[in-house]
Amino acid sequence: MPRHVAIIMDGNGRWASKHGENRSEGHLAGKESLRECCEYAVEKGIEYLSIFAFSTENWNRPADEVAQLMSLMASSVIGEMGTFRKNSIRFRMLGDRSAVPADVLGPIEEAERETASNTRLDLFVLFCYGGKWDIVNAAGKYGRQCYEAALRGEPCPSIDVDGFSRFLETAGVPDPDLLIRTGGEKRISNFLLWQCAYAEFYFTDILWPDFRKIQFQSALDSFAKRDRRYGQIK
Ligand code: FPP
């Protein structure tokens, strides 16, 4: 069983067109899949679930869709509080908080406070997140430490891979073991670039709103058959 599963939930728009609906209906249906997958992750003893809800590139979508995704985030975190409580899910946003409108950040931070002591699943919602942003932001934090050291007349503190990881949004969290992407595309789209260095990839043509427990189990079955060597010879 993977400890950490990451998901790129793609295909909401295509699911909506297939059903003669507008794109917003696709995102609403996607929310149902997300709830089902969170509950299944808890049932399976998965410890961390990271989901890509809004990327740094999604700002380039039409303004009305951006607004809908923003308000869906705000209403979902409040509306799903019962799900978080019932399943002991700890919610946290990973991404650029300075880019999140105040009326969306408020509910996000309220949900983080309310769920902080839950223990069964860490749900990381990557929102206003980009893998390149995460790495550059981490480099900036390290740069500031060097600058402060220089002001004290001290050398820049040396750093290794583990040390650098502590500046990333995922500080202290084990890297994803399994990365799932729905919707047929086979790319990483600026998701957890650093953190997926050794993730097993699972791509499926299923559109996100159709990805439910059974499809999640198929991804877990595929993962169970993988031979993870981490660059070594077994
Ligand atoms: C990709 O589908 C999906 C998104 C950009 C948004 C993901 C949001 C949800 C699943 C709803 C849950 C919401 C929150 C805020 C937690 P797409 O629109 O790129 O689909 P397409 O490739 O078919 O156009």
Inside any domain, residue 101:
yes
Inside any domain, residue 36:
yes
- 190-214: pLDDT as tens digits: 999 999 999 999 999 999 999 999 9
Inside any domain, residue 43:
yes
Inside any domain, residue 79:
yes
How many Å is the maximal CA-CA distance in the chain?
65
Closest atom of ligand 1 to CA, residue 28:
11
Q: Which domain CATH number covers 75?
A: 3.40.1180.10
Neighbours of 20 (CB within 10 A): 7
37 token code pair: 């997958």
User: 27-42 burial by CB neighbour count: b if 16+ within 10 A, else e?
Assistant: bbbbbebbebbbbbbb
Residue 169: pLDDT above 90?
yes
Q: Please give the residue range of the domain that contains residue 186.
A: 4-224
Mark residue 230 as left, alpha or beta (left: phi above 0; alpha: psi -120 to 50; beta: remaining): left
Inside any domain, residue 230:
no
Neighbours of 98 (CB within 10 A): 7
Q: Under a CB-based contact definition with an 8 Å cutoff, are residues 140 and 132 in contact? A: no
- 101-141: pLDDT as tens digits: 999 999 999 999 999 999 999 999 999 999 999 999 999 99
C-alpha to C-alpha distance for 143 and 128, rounded to whole angstroms: 23
What total of structural domains would you count in the chain? 1
- 16-71: pLDDT as tens digits: 999 999 999 999 999 999 999 999 999 999 999 999 999 999 999 999 999 999 99
Q: Kindly state if the Cβ of 90 falls inside 6 Å of ligand 1.
A: no
Q: Look up the pTM and report it.
A: 0.96
Inside any domain, residue 40:
yes
Closest atom of ligand 1 to CA, residue 51:
16
Q: Which residues are catalytic?
A: 10, 58
Inside any domain, residue 112:
yes
- 222-232: pLDDT as tens digits: 999 999 889 89
The pick from 9, 15, 66, 207 for probing ligand 1's pocket by mutation, whose C-beta has the most ligand atoms within 8 angstroms, reads 9
